[in-house]
Chains A and B, each alone.
Chain A
């Protein structure tokens, strides 16, 4: 009697647990299989991962813009639901996207930085080919799409592209008695000395996230290596030219002048008032080597609109100073952008949505509301920030623009390269070590 009841109870528990598990398990995935039917009336859910997270002041202009655009799109296409997950940049690029792509349980739309990263994803069969379905957009956006193309096809579209240089606080420069923007490394070193004398941290670098530190090396390499060597390396992964080691040596010398804040390997790039961006935004450091997006990262630290205005007025920008003796084109610039790709199995509405995201209208809103540099030529008129205009001018006058080296070389070699460069910063590695790590990574891929 009691045993029967117990048996029944046990069976019921197991059965309901199983049902519950089954229900929850199937509810886990949100990607719908690619709909080949032409009808646009079936309900479609798109999952979208992007890196627009709230800044230190709690505001999130980029995230808000994406949400607005998603809402506009779903209003026009009522059968489409868009689920957004905002993920911090580092997590997104280094952990979430790789694990999602490898497991096959990936979002429909996700952030895409192009170059070798994109190539690796295409080789692995993760990306949707957008060449035909977005052909008019690709034509409209122009040459900036190149990093998102591979073997003649396009696999992503950019919404932002710009070159990098050194952002600085005008007031701190004044305080230290620096009257003109440095144009050579010697002038930069002199400026660093003046800042140190005035008790100001000269340069902030977020070595904790690795890539901000690595960008110093990329720029030295850009100045050191000839255009042919540089542009060939993306496909040949040949780093035997001495210019590569030379870049590391120049970096070692530069670090030797101690231009950075303390504990730089523990400093993040964008999160918190003690990140490298935070240090410059709060006036605790004078300079940071960064790209165009940094303007809205900086503004994320300003408590209100008045503070934002003040900050905007106090920010200056100059391109990476020239080095001596390198074979690189002195007008070459290092740059990169952000874009989005569609997962291979995403519904076709994904491509349609991408087209909407990079439309001229959306790009104009991007320039106005977020303050970044759009890609669409029609939207560049909406850029009002002086620094960004200068940045855009440098980009268009550059002999050539080289994509960030870690994006160019891909996760494997790029990751190894960043590790080697951070080791130089930490004092545990040297210039040759970077080359060794890159060669090893290239040999095993």
Chain B
């Protein structure tokens, strides 16, 4: 990808990192990093700390640390049950979507990557055009379709379309992954009498795991953060909603209890942030891998 040129005079390979001195440059980097951290973290910290204050505290001393630390906002939400119910809903939908997308997408990418057949290219292009149809564009007719199918109000109504809309990205990412696996493996397997399906299941999948994890992570995040489809489908009550939708309902109902809303929103952030911390490497690698192509 990068045009590597070797036309410069040969140099002894430098072992120290470039610009290694603790100089003004380092301080600039640290300074800018701190500013970026403050910019990013500031609002989030305000939100989290606000949940530990009373309304009056928030009004009189918004920037300072809570004094005293009020636990009731967070405690009430954690003991009320609705938060956990919504968390579970989000989890189930996200897991269902992820499993579905990874399974169907990887399976579909396999023939497109390694078989030769008429229509392979056309199929791949078809899936690629899916990138042009995000859920937002299709939402009105999709909603009507789901309603006619009776999938409204059930989690399947969320999972199945989300799987369908995640297929384009998945196939695009998985196809080169699967294609890159050496043919010697395949030929050896066939010589040993392994069927194509067997080859897929026993040899290819384990090797493709990094790609599958990447795709899975992207699908999980996408499903977890979804708002529009749940808004239209999960209409029957707050206990059936996913977490982002639940936060908006909580905010609408308790609008004047700002610190309560701050607590609820902070708690809703935690799963995503935890997930992110554990898998940050994967997420970044996945994105940059997709970007680098």
Contacts and interface: CB of A to CB of B under 8 A. Distances in A.
Nearest to A27: B240
Given A14-B99, A17-B96, A271-B256, A104 B147 contact: yes
A25 B256 contact: no
A24 B92 contact: yes
Contacts of B258: 272
Interface residues of B, number: 32
A171 interface: no
B133 interface: no
B246 to A, nearest CB: 12
Contacts of B168: none
A194 B154 CA distance: 59
A87 B235 contact: no
A104 B152 contact: yes
A134 interface: no
Interface string B191-220: 000000000011000000000000000000
> Which of A20, A28, A91, A95 gathers the greatest number of chain B CB atoms within 10 Å?
A28
B155 A90 contact: no
Given A17-B99, A24-B92, A28-B154, A91 B252 contact: yes
A25 B232 CA distance: 16
Interface string B233-253: 111111010000000010011
B240 to A, nearest CB: 5
Contact of B238 (A3, A53, A85, A102): A85
Given A103-B147, A103-B153, A28 B249 contact: no
Given A3-B202, A91-B252, A21 B237 contact: no
B35 interface: no
A28 B153 contact: yes
B95 interface: yes
B155 A99 contact: no
Contacts of A54: 254
A29 B236 contact: yes
Contact of A105 (B235, B249, B252): B235
B87 interface: no
B57 interface: no
> Which of B147, B234, B252 gathers the greatest number of chain A CB atoms within 10 Å?
B252
Contacts of A414: none
Interface string A38-62: 0000000001000001111000000
B71 interface: no
> Which of A26, A55, A88, A105 gathers the greatest number of chain B CB atoms within 10 Å?
A105
A85 B253 CA distance: 10
Nearest to A18: B96
B156 interface: yes
B99 A29 contact: no
B256 A107 contact: no
A196 to B, nearest CB: 27
Interface string A71-112: 000000000000101111011000110011011111100000
Contact of A100 (B88, B159, B236): B236
Contact of B153 (A29, A87, A96): A29
Contacts of B238: 85
B41 interface: no
A272 B257 CA distance: 8
Nearest to A13: B99
B89 A24 contact: yes
Contacts of B254: 53-54
A298 to B, nearest CB: 14
B236 A47 contact: yes
A96 B255 contact: no
B237 A107 contact: yes
A30 interface: yes
Contacts of A268: 255
A28 B147 contact: no
B192 to A, nearest CB: 15
Contacts of A83: 237
A272 B99 contact: no
Contacts of A30: 236-237
A105 B236 contact: yes
B236 A31 contact: yes
A90 B252 contact: yes
A229 interface: no
Contacts of B155: 21, 24-25, 28
B231 A88 contact: no
A99 B253 contact: no
> Which of B201, B236, B238 gathers the greatest number of chain A CB atoms within 10 Å?
B236
Interface string B131-170: 0000000000001000100001111100100000000000
B253 A91 contact: yes
Given A17-B99, A26-B154, A103 B232 contact: yes
Nearest to A28: B240
Given A21-B96, A103-B147, A88 B255 contact: yes
A103 B152 contact: yes
A47 B237 contact: yes
Given A17-B96, A91-B249, A99 B232 contact: yes
Contact of A87 (B152, B236, B253): B253
A46 B88 CA distance: 24
A268 B252 CA distance: 11
Interface string A1-26: 00100010000001001001100111
Nearest to A83: B237
Contacts of B236: 28-31, 47, 100, 105-107
Contacts of B95: 17
A185 B240 CA distance: 50
Given A103-B235, A272-B258, 12 more contacts: A7-B201, A17-B99, A25-B154, A25-B155, A26-B154, A29-B153, A31-B236, A47-B237, A90-B252, A91-B252, A91-B253, A271-B256
21 contacts: A3-B202, A14-B99, A17-B99, A24-B92, A28-B153, A28-B240, A47-B236, A53-B253, A53-B254, A87-B252, A88-B252, A88-B253, A91-B249, A91-B253, A95-B231, A100-B236, A103-B153, A104-B152, A104-B153, A107-B237, A273-B256
By Cβ-Cβ distance, the 9 closest A-B pairs, closest first, are: A105-B153, A272-B256, A271-B255, A91-B252, A100-B235, A25-B154, A103-B152, A105-B236, A99-B235
